[in-house]
Structure 1
Amino acid sequence: MNTKKIVITGSAGTGKTSVIDNLKSKNYYCFDELIRTLTSEVKDEVDASNHISNPIVFAKDPLDFNTRLLNGRLEQYKQAETLNKSLCFFDRGIPDVLAYMDYFKQTYQPVFTDTCKAHLYTDVFLLPPWKQIYKTDCGRFESFDDVLQIHEHLKNTYKSLGYNITEVPFGTVEERTNFILNTI
């Protein structure tokens, strides 16, 4: 079966995971965001006083961190190819790695862009920054100004890879989920 691969992306705190959880409650197959697991691993590797920004910055080896993230998202993509489902959802896609590395002005080898170009998603839904719902927590470090800038990096990265991006309007989790499902 040719499974449609749908990315739900956006800056931190835009409601992606809430939408993904709602899709799961409707029995859609969803791949979870990997960053929180990797962040926990990195926190165990470094001095706790350094946990003031994104793990891409405070990791001992940011390139290794991003390589693990890229490989994890690639593995999710490959798993999606084996599903017997008409569609599945991803809480962030492979190109998100590039967008964040660009935002943090980190260099990367061609394997990062090559992986994005070789593993294409069917649709990309971008949730815009929403100040009323944004909050920091132990795994979310960015200020709202950072979130706005990251949003632009995400949009530009996906567009540069040839994607048409559908921006999800503000609304309840149910309204946003229905918007995505109706658009597909």
Structure 2
Amino acid sequence: MQNRFVLISGCSGGGKSTLLAELSARGYPVVEEPGRRIIADQRASGGTALPWVDAAAFLRRAIDVAVNDMTAARAQSGWVFFDRGLIDAASALEALTGEPVLHPTCSVHRYHRCVFMTPPWPEIYVTDSERRHGFEAATAEHRRLMETLPALGYDVIHLPKTSPAERAHFVLATLSGGVLPKA
């Protein structure tokens, strides 16, 4: 099996976490979004590596977490699905600071060539205590990733605006060349 680490990326609030919950319910290992874990940790410890306090520190930490997630996922067998990951954090840090982290970091640590993107979907977009940015910022993030991923050699596959079950079927069928594998 070619690289079995599958990145689910795209617009904030586009249904990534819901899709990953569906894949997990089907027995596939999933890796939670680094950003949400970092926010929970920083809030619990009184830290300042939060996107609305110190975005650069937050993104550097997200890069470290994503690399560690990829290392830990090697122990899993079969497809492993990532809710965001290294490319999302490195792309955002480079856009924010101009630091050239994207190509050196993301060239060494690779996901499966197919990256599944959630499109901007205003009908399901919501903010919460961890997602404080608005829909405009989410769509700008989506545009940045749509430029970044092909430049890194990934095939971007747009997820349809359908139910989580239909999206999971679409992902699994795409990865298996149209023949749906078992979990």
TM-score above 0.5: yes
Query: In the alignment, is residue 88 of structure 1 matched against residue 97 of structure 2?
Result: no
CA drift of 1:57 comes to 4.3
Deviations 1:126-165 (A, max 9, x none): 0101000001110111211111111001111111111111
Residue of 134, 137, 140 corresponding to 2:131: 140
Aligned to 2:181: none
Aligned to 1:115: 105
Report the 3-state secondary structure (helix = DSSP H, G, I; strand = E; otherwise coil) of the residue aligned with 2:14: coil
Aligned to 2:89: 97
Report the 3-state secondary structure (helix = DSSP H, G, I; strand = E; otherwise coil) of the residue aligned with 2:51: helix
What residue ranges of structure 2 are gaps of 5+ in the alignment?
Answer: 176-183
Query: In the alignment, is residue 55 of structure 1 matched against residue 46 of structure 2?
Result: no
Q: Amino acid of the residue matched to residue 26 of structure 2?
A: K
Q: Distance in 1 between matches of 2:69 and 2:2?
A: 15
Aligned to 2:68: 75
Contact 1:3-1:80 at 8 Å conserved across structures: no
Q: Amino acid of the residue matched to residue 154 of structure 2?
A: Y
Q: Distance in 2 between matches of 1:16 and 1:63?
A: 23
CA drift of 1:118 comes to 0.6
- Deviates further, 93-102 or 137-146: 93-102
Aligned to 2:166: 175
CA drift of 1:82 comes to 2.8
CA drift of 1:115 comes to 1.6
Alignment root-mean-square deviation, CA: 2.0
What residue ranges of structure 1 are gaps of 5+ in the alignment?
Answer: 47-53
How many residues align? The count is 172
Q: 1:106 to 1:56 in 2, by over 3 A?
A: farther
Q: Moved runs in structure 1, 4+ residues, more than 4 A?
A: none
Query: In the alignment, is residue 128 of structure 1 matched against residue 123 of structure 2?
Result: no
Q: Distance in 2 between matches of 1:147 and 1:91?
A: 15
Contact 1:18-1:173 at 8 Å conserved across structures: yes
Deviations 1:94-148 (A, max 9, x none): 1101232345x323244x5312111111121001010000011101112111111
Report the 3-state secondary structure (helix = DSSP H, G, I; strand = E; otherwise coil) of the residue aligned with 2:97: coil
Aligned to 2:28: 28
Q: Distance in 1 between matches of 2:94 and 2:138?
A: 14
Q: 1:160 to 1:80 in 2, by over 3 A?
A: same
Aligned to 2:147: 156
What fraction of aligned residue pairs are identical, expressed as a percent? 27
CA drift of 1:80 comes to 2.1
Report the 3-state secondary structure (helix = DSSP H, G, I; strand = E; otherwise coil) of the residue aligned with 2:82: strand
